[in-house]
Each structure stands twice: as C-alpha cells, then as structure tokens.
Amino acid sequence: MGNHCYVVFFTIACVVFFAEAVRLNEDVEMLDEFGANSTRRSLSACSANNVIDKCWRCKPDWADNRQALAQCAAGFAKGTTGGSGGDTYTVTSNADDDAANPKEGTLRFGVTQSRPLWIVFEKDMVIALTQELVVTSDKTIDGRGAKVEITGGGLTLMNVKNVIIHGINIHDVQEMPGGMIKNSEGPAEMRSKSDGDGICVTGSTKIWIDHCSLSKAVDGLIDVTLGSSMVTISNCKFSQHHKVMLLGADDAHHQDKSMQATVAYNLFTDGCDQRMPRCRFGFFQVVNNNYDRWGTYAIGGSSAPTILSQGNKFLAPDDATKKNVLVRADAPESEYMTWNWRSEKDSLENGAIFLASGSDPSLTGEQQGLMIQAEPGESVPQLTSSAGVLSCVAGQPC
C-alpha cells in the first residue's frame, strides 16, 4: 500500500513538474517575443511631429547618411544643399586662438574652405570665438551627435549661398573688435567691429537654420538683411533676448523687396521681448510657431511687408496692455492698414489680439510651391515639442 502511494505521488509530481516547465518555457518565449517587440517598437518609435522632422528623425541610420538632411529643407529655403556632395570635415579642436590663421581641425578652418564641406564634431565642445565666424558658401555645420555650444563671436554669412546650420547652441554673443579675420581660403582680410548678432545673414540666398538654440546676444539673435532671400528658420528655440529676429534692417534698403523667408515650428519663450520677427518689404510666411508670451509684441514690421501668419499659437502675457500680437511702425494708420498682414488658423490665447490688415495676397506659383502647409494653431505644442538642439545618438532615431 505504501509503495503504491509512493508511485502515485511520484507520478503526480512529475506531471506537475513537466507542466510547470512547459509554462515557464512559454513564459520565457513570451518574454523574448515581448522584449523583441519592445526593442522593435523603441527603434521604430519617433517623436518627429512636423514635416521637416519626419523627413529624417525616424531613421536610425541618420549618422551614416548625414547629407540626406539637405533633402529635408522646407519653406523658402527648400533646395538648399549646404555641403552636400562635399567631403566630411570633422572639428577636433574647440580652439579659436588665431582668427587670421586658424589651424586645421578647428571650426574656423573648416568654414573658410572654398569647397563644399559637411562639418561635424568629434565630441562635445564649447567654442569661444575670439572674432565673428565668417562662413563661406556650400557649407553645413551639423551638430548632431555632439553637444556643441558657440559663445563670444557670432556667425556671419555674407554674400554666400547654400548654407545649413543645424544643431548648434549659440549664446552669450558679444560685439567683437574686428581685425584680420580669415573669410576664405586666401589670406585673412581686415574686418570692422561686429554688432554682436548670433547669426548675421547679409546678401545671401538659400540659407537654412534648423534645430538651433539661441539666447543672450548683444544685438539680434538672427538678422537677415541687404537683399538676402530664400531663407528658412525652423525648429529653433529662442529665449532670454530683447530683439530676437530682424528680417530687413532698414526702411532705406529697398533691395529687401525681394526677400522671401519662412519662420516655422520655432519656440519663442523665457524672456523673448519682441521681433519674432520684425519684417520689412518682403514676403514672409510665419507658420506653426509657439509664442509663449512676449514682452512688447510678437510680430512687427514696416515698409509694407506681406506677412502670412498661419497656424501659430499666440499665448499673450498677463499684462492687459500687452495683448496685441502685432506692431506696425513708421507709417500712419491709413497706410499701414493696407499692408497684407493676414491670419489663418492661428490660436489666440489669454486675450491675444491679432488685428489683420490688407487682403489675402495673390501668390505666385513659386510661392505656392514653397509654402509650408499650416496645421491648426492648437497643434503647435506638439509640432514644436522638440524645438532647439536635439540629443541625437548614432544608430538610433533622433
């Protein structure tokens, strides 16, 4: 009887043990499958929310094909090639000891070469410029994969074409004394004192500034002047600055009548007072930007610019005297109310007021082809959620 019970007990124990083993194996397989799926999901997950970011950020091989970024330019800078087709130049040193004779491996050496270059950074670095940094045509400054800060001198793009500036934190920019500064592969030339702009664009075309963070400059964070055109400023974060962005420097500069610029998917926050942007003469699409309060005003201008405000989120400051989004300057009301300043799909919050004027302009075929399709202003927090410098890791979606 005892032996019989022992056999029965042993048999039941074996069955239970076998069943448990099968269950554990199935659980392991399920965990393996879940883990694999989770990994696949993490690789495929992408926080890209606007048309520019969707072009490249979801691709884990972006670091192996950096120059594909140029294909993502949108707005009036669409077609900007930057350093496409050129060699990759790696910045290995943050030194800027000699602005007249920069050493190979420095950023200043790379941006003054005459050939197309795609400029990347070996590691994180803070580059304290001792003079303005003069950038030549057909260059991309690509900070993806490194934490790159530029302080001291700002960037100057003068009479150049096809320049992309991406993923750089530019801050604490000062006036620089001028002197002998290298601005090409040739000998250095004498340059006058700089104004202290973060990025100064003059007489230049096909310029794209994307995913940069800009703050604390003596003059403007970005100035685009003197006949510059085909410019897009996108996905940038602007903060802690008085006069943020100037598109057209003077009412006497009639060459700016040809200026066409796109301001898209940017975040203006944390102490931005005015000029987001301030426009003269030209044609400007200001689309799907996030205005997180302002000091004096958000968008302004003079000299009859055309400003299309589309799908922006305007959160007015609490001050009851600062609710107006717009400021029109240097003309009587009878004149400035004829300017074409139009609003479409904008979200006006906390009492924000947008007083439109003029009429909807007749767009040319080129303008229609280069305009970014506006999404409703309510979508702006998501569209601008990654504004500013990104943290990108090679081999993963950015």
d(Cα 208, Cα 107) in Å, to the nearest integer? Answer: 19
Query: Same domain, yes or no, for 66 and 15?
Result: no
Look at residue 398 and tell me if it is in a domain.
Answer: no
**Strand, coil or helix: 9:** helix
What are the backbone dihedrals phi and psi of residue 345, each rounded to the nearest 5 degrees, phi first? 65, 10
Co-location of 13 and 133 in the same domain: no
3-state secondary structure at position 252: coil
Q: Does 391 map to a domain? A: no
Q: How far apart are CA 193 and CA 131, in angstroms?
A: 9
The answer to whether the CB of 80 falls within 8 A of the CB of 207 is yes
CB-based contacts of 186: which residues, under 8 Å, 6+ apart? none
Q: Distance (Å, rounded) from C-alpha 107 to C-alpha 152?
A: 14
pLDDT given at position 177: 96
DSSP state of 100: S
Same domain as 21, residue 74: no
CB under 8 Å to 51, separation ≥6 — which residues?
A: 74, 372, 373
Q: Which two tokens stand for residue 59?
A: 């691709």
**292 and 206 within one domain:** yes
Q: How many domains does the chain have?
A: 2
Q: Are 355 and 324 in contact (CB under 8 A)?
A: yes
Q: What is the pTM of this model?
A: 0.89
pLDDT in the model for residue 221: 98
Q: Do the domain assignments include residue 195?
A: yes
Cβ atoms < 10 Å from Cβ of 296: 15
Instruction: Please check whether residues 29 and 156 belong to one and the same domain.
Output: no
144 in any annotated domain: yes
Are 243 and 219 part of one and the same domain?
yes
Supply the pLDDT for residue 47: 77
133 domain-assigned: yes
Position 392 in a domain: no
Helix (H) or strand (E) segment spanning residue 107: helix 107-111
198 and 250 in a single domain? The answer is: yes
127 with 193, same domain?
yes
| Residue 301 located in a structural domain | yes
| Cβ contact 367:361 at 8 Å | no
Q: Give DSSP secondary structure letters for 319-377.
A: -GGG-BSEEE-SS-HHHHTTS-EEEES-EEETT-B---BS------HHHHHHPPPPPPG
Can you read off the two tokens belonging to residue 358?
């003029």
- Is residue 252 within 8 A of residue 281, CB to CB? The reply is no
CA distances from 159 to 183, 227, 234 (A): 11, 9, 21
Secondary structure (DSSP) of 11-49: HHHHHHHHHHHHHHHHHHHHHHHHHHHHHHHHHH-----
Task: Tell whether 124 and 245 lie within a shared domain.
Answer: yes
**149 and 287 both lie in a single domain:** yes
Per residue in 145-202, pLDDT (tens digit) is 999 999 999 999 999 999 999 999 999 999 999 999 999 999 999 999 999 999 999 9
Domain that holds residue 37: 1-45
3-20: pLDDT as tens digits: 444 333 333 343 333 344
Q: The domain spanning residue 162 has which CATH number?
A: 2.160.20.10
- Do residues 39 and 146 share a domain? no
The catalytically annotated residue of 191, 275, 280, 293 is 275
Low-confidence ranges of the chain (pLDDT < 70): 1-45
Q: Is residue 6 part of a domain?
A: yes
Considering the domain architecture, whether residues 3 and 79 belong to the same structural domain is answered as: no
Is 275 an active-site residue? yes
